[in-house]
Amino acid sequence: MEEERRRALRRCRVRLVAALRVAPLWGPLEARGVFTRAMLEELQSAGSRREQARQLVTDLETRGKQAFPIFVSILRDTGQGDLADLLSQACELPPVQPADVMPLEPSLSRETRNRSALERVPVPVRDAGDRFRVPPSAARGSAVDSLKRNSDLLYDLKADPCGYCLILNNVNFSRDSDLLTRAGSNIDCEKLEKRFKSLHFNVLTRQDLKAQEIVWELQKLARLDHSALDCCLVVILSHGCQTSHIQFPGGIYGTDGKAIPVEKIVNYFNGSHCPSLRGKPKLFFIQACGGEQKDQGFEVESDSPGDEARRVSVESDATPFQAPSGASDEPDAVASLPTPSDILVSYSTFPGFVSWRDRLSGSWYVETLDNVLDQYAHSEDLLNMLLRVADAVSAKGKYKQIPGCFNFLRKRFFFMCK
C-alpha cells in the first residue's frame, strides 16, 4: 500500500475505530480478495467490535495496493459512506506532524531541524574496559526522543507498567533427568529481574518448574487481560535440546527432563490464543543451547589471557551431555517460534550449538544483554541492541558462540525509559 494511503488510515484511525460497523464488511472483504477466510477469522477473534475495527485498520496496511480503494468501495456499499468520504479526503491532505511532537527548533526549516537532530545523536565510544558507552546526558536527550516519536513504524508504549515479564529460571533438575545443576543461572535471573523492572515491566519469576508446570505458567500469562498493556516479555533460562519441528528447531527442558518445543511456547501468545496481545510486541529471550556442537571458530588472533583464565568456570546447557569426571563444561537450549506478526525470539546461540554459562558471573548471553540494555535502552531500538549483543558474545572465549534472533516485529521497538 502506498504511504499516502497508509497515512490516511492512521489519520482516520480514531474515527474508524469508534464508528466502523465491521460485521457487514467480512463477506465483501473475502469475496474481493482483500483477506482470506483464515485472516478474517483471526480478525473476528480480536474481541469487541472496537478491537476488531482497530485490528482491521492496522492489517489493511499490509494487504497490497488495491486494499485501500476496495475498502473505500465496500464502505460505500455497506452504507458507511461518511467513513468512505473521510478516507478519500484524508488522502488529499498533506502529511502533518503528530500533535504531541514539538519541533526541535521552531525557527529553523524542516530540513535544518532534521539535520540538526541527527547531528546531536550520540556516537558510541569505547571506555577503558573496552565496553561501548553513550554519554549519559546525550543518551537521554530530547533529540533522540523526538526522532523516536517521529517514526511511523514504532510500537507505542504508553502504559506503566508497559506489560508483564515472566522469567522461568530452571536451576536444579531431578536425578532421573540426567541434567546437571545450572550454576550461575540465579545470577542471570537476578540481573534480568532488576533490568526489566527498571524498564517498567511487571516482573513475575518462577523457578525450578517441571515441563507441565511451565506450560501452566505460560497459559496463565496468555489468559490474562493485556488490553491495558502494550507488550509482553518471556525469559527462559534452562537446559535445552534440538526437537522435531515444523518451522524452527529447539526446545527447553523442565526440571523433570521433559522437553517443550519453543514453537509451542510462542504459540500460546499468538492472535488466536491471546487476543488482547494482538498487534502488540511479544518478546522472548532464550538462554539455552541449540544442540551439542561446540564451535571452535576460525582463527583471527590468539585468545586473551583473560578468556583462558575464565574458562575454568564456564559451563553450557546442551543436552544430552555426558561430562567427563572433573570437567567444568556443560551445554543450554535454543528457541523456536511460529510466524505470526509482532513476535521476536532472541536466541543465546545458533541452532545446533551450545550456549556457554559462567558459574561465577552467569551466562555470556545474559551478562552481555544486561550490559547492552543498561547502556543503550535509552537511545537505541531492540534490534540494534541485539546486534551489539551478538558482536560482543562472538568475541568471547576459546569456544565460540553467536546469539541471533527470529524477528517478526512489524515496527521498531524501544523500551520505556524515564
**Active-site annotation, residues:** 239, 289
Rounded to whole angstroms, the Cα distance separating 202 from 188 reads 18
| Cα pseudo-dihedral 271, 272, 277, 283, rounded to 10 | -60
* Nearest Cα residue to 26 out of 16, 13, 41, 11: 41
In whole angstroms, what separates CA 305 from the centre of its chain? Answer: 35
Cell numbers for 215, please give them. 506450560
Q: What's the DSSP call for residue 148?
A: H
Neighbour-count burial of 72, counting CB atoms closer than 10 A to its CB (0-12 exposed, 13-18 middle, 19+ buried): buried
What sign has the CA pseudo-torsion 197, 344, 68, 47? Answer: negative
Q: What is the CA radius of gyration of the chain?
A: 24
Count of CB atoms situated within 10 Å of the CB of 247:
10
Q: Are 364 and 357 in contact (CB under 8 A)?
A: yes
